[in-house]
Chain A
Amino acid sequence: MAAALLCWGACGLEAAAAVRVLASGHPVVLRSAELLALTGVNIVLTPLGAFFVLLVAMVAVPATLHGIGYAPHGLSGRMAACTVPIFVTVLLLVPAAGSVATFMVLWELMALSSLALVLADQARRESVRSAGTWYAVITHVGAALILVAFLILAAHSGSQTFVALRTSARHLALPWRSLAFVVALVGFGSKAGVVPFHVWLPKAHPEAPSPVSALMSGAMVALGVYGIVLFGDVLLGGGPVWWWLVVLALGAASALYGSLYAASSTDLKRLLAYSTTDNVGLVLLALGASGLFAATRHPLLAALGMVGALVLLLNHAAFKGALFLSAGSVQTATGSRDLDQLGGLLRRMPQSGALFLVAAAAICALPPLNGFIGEWLLFQSLLHGVDIGNTAGDVAIPLAVAAMALTAGLTVVAFVKAAGIGFLGRPRSTGAESATEVPGTMRFAVGLLVGVCVVLGVLPTLILPAVERAVRAALPGVRQVTLTHGVGLQLVGLRGMLEPAALAAAIVAAVAGVTALRRILSRRPAPTVVEAWGCGRQLQTARMQYTATSFAEPVGRVFDDVLRPVHDLDISHAAESRYFVEAVSYRSAVDDSIERVLYRPPIAAVRRWGQLARHLQPGSVHRYLAYGFGALVVVLAAVAVLR
């Protein structure tokens, strides 16, 4: 409780500063030489950073509120209670860092505090430790790469403030600029969960307590994207076409790969983790397109792409935060996050279930919810950019549109599965059977984020001016691209307009109209409720329902070459005759292909080398003395020969 109050205080303070920055357009500067040895602390809250601060605060307040009710399942204990406020504060400060030293210190604090929170459950489950190791290694390699990228710029500039780096980076030779960009892209991409550096997401997100997963997926991953924008657009001021084609390709790969694995996951939180990779992929698509348009001198389209990217990120923070918190509510109520153990929850937890359904509809980009606005902006920027006069770009943009369309479809499969298998039908376990509604604070926390989804979907005009200001801070010399008039929005200089509020009103009116007409005009007798048709069977059990695995089976079959599911079928026969089957056991699992191909072989090689090296250290003192003596002899011999 105290931890949550601390977090809310930090969020309130910094959100107030962020609102001031976004309203005035002038950055807030804060310098202190004493706080950090040798370099001092340098805080510069630009409009771009302020946007991300608001995004973090939007997730952090409901997540910490949800954490109060979640306590018995993981956020208990002194360690978590102290670490959550640190994590939230650092998340709020990272986008406000104004120099390399400040940024890296905050970035590392963010990595360490989130690692401590991922490990909150480590005493309870063995798998938590393995997930923590994966996360620790990948996030620290990423941080090292980010540091290298900053050092390349800082060495040239001689200073370490972002303002100085930005002025001097213009005069840096292109190969160095490119090297810095690519290294930074990998470093920040690993934090953002971009393919192929995403492998920690499906491990750490499911094992972390749900409020922490919501913070990591909604806010921390967004800061990875902030890093890419900071580096590519703010510090380096854009670059050649191929940089952005790489970003575009990474985005498309992440979107497709993430949505495909989300569609085939049976663990609710693993599904959400893969869906995070999918959404970040869409954001990178928008960023890549924006950079591509800027490099080919289409500033208007570039700004539209960037607006799309930021709106997509904000949306993702809202609905993914809500979904992770809902998954936490489900875990609290049933003790399971395996979809094949759930079912029938909408009847047992009507409010939590309804909130999950709305958030799932939002992530599927159904109007009138916020996901639709983000994807509409991205589609507008891509479709207006099909003819930009650059051959590679002209090939890449239609491919990006195709990738986005396929991703949208796979996302729907994933969330129809999550909602349908998890919340409809009959309970598949005693945990789901005996589930009851979670405490009011948890429902209220999810409701806050779902409310944001609805408001941003109906009235995106509320935030678009702020987003525009953030975009103008990232892409200097760009004028306004979206005009808001009342509740509608229009693209300046491009053909495209949207009336989200009218759309919402039309949908509500259509639904109400059809329901009313049916009630008035229908001459049918009242419907009778009968048992579902089960081929005349006497007894229908929950095991006869579709499971998450069987629902995803057609997708798995089509994308067999990517997913490579592992099937084990064991049939044991009676000793007397092979015609009598004693037991049939079937196991199928979908492991991450990229992890299997890119990560497992090097890990196995390192382990083999480690095993070999162990022979050197058998624990015998005599052997160690012999090593010392041998080394001495070699050195003496070398000295004697070389002298």
Chain B
Amino acid sequence: MAPADALEGPPELSGSLQLRHVDAGSCNGCELEIASSFGPVYDAERFGARLVASPRHADGLLVTGPVTKNMAAPLTKTLEATPRPRVVIAIGDCARNCGVFAGGYGVAGAVGDVVPVDVSVPGCPPEPTAIIEALRGITRR
């Protein structure tokens, strides 16, 4: 299990973290792992993190995949719609550096090229334990 790149989030978000998931062009591998993280076995909600249905309800974004050209503007808009203080978590290698899709004709860049990233989780796909460790770094629970 590879460690997360950074484990610090804004102190206001400790305790409870509401997240909006944005698939910016993922192969859905990371989605499976996120689903598993919030499933009954790993149950990330024990640690104060929850998935919500709108960025208006969220404290942060959970972004997966390389950012495709079609998703670059929606991702920016989603971040604009998220109230501050907020955190952007890039999940998986594609989100960090485009992974195997690097240089693809439809790829606009990694998540960090489009929006500022606070925390990123490496892995292709990252294991649920890695995702949860990153989340716990922010919720501090």
Contact = CB atoms under 8 A, between A and B. Distances in A.
Contacts of B77: 531, 536
A261 to B, nearest CB: 35
A530 B74 contact: no
B65 interface: no
17 contacts: A530-B80, A530-B81, A531-B77, A531-B80, A533-B54, A533-B55, A533-B56, A533-B81, A536-B73, A536-B74, A536-B75, A536-B77, A536-B78, A536-B81, A537-B74, A538-B73, A538-B74
Contacts of B80: 530-531
Contacts of B78: 536
Contacts of B54: 533
Nearest to B73: A538
Interface in A513-532: 530-531
Interface string A521-565: 000000000110100111000000000000000000000000000
Contacts of B56: 533
Interface residues of B, number: 10
Contacts of A531: 77, 80
Interface string B66-87: 0000000111011011000000
Nearest to A528: B80
A536 B56 CA distance: 12
Task: Identify the 9 closest CB pairs spanning chains A and B, nearest first.
Answer: A536-B74, A533-B81, A536-B77, A536-B78, A533-B56, A530-B80, A538-B73, A533-B54, A533-B55
Interface in A258-293: none
A385 B73 CA distance: 65
A537 B76 CA distance: 11
A541 to B, nearest CB: 16
A602 B95 CA distance: 72
A123 to B, nearest CB: 51
A533 B75 CA distance: 12
A607 to B, nearest CB: 55
A550 B80 CA distance: 29
Nearest to A536: B74
Interface in B31-70: 54-56
Nearest to B74: A536
A537 B77 CA distance: 8
B73 to A, nearest CB: 6
A540 to B, nearest CB: 10
Contacts of B75: 536
A606 B49 CA distance: 71
A154 to B, nearest CB: 71
Nearest to B80: A530
A537 B73 CA distance: 9
Contacts of A538: 73-74
Interface string B98-111: 00000000000000
A530 B54 CA distance: 16
A539 to B, nearest CB: 11
A538 B74 CA distance: 7
A538 B77 CA distance: 9
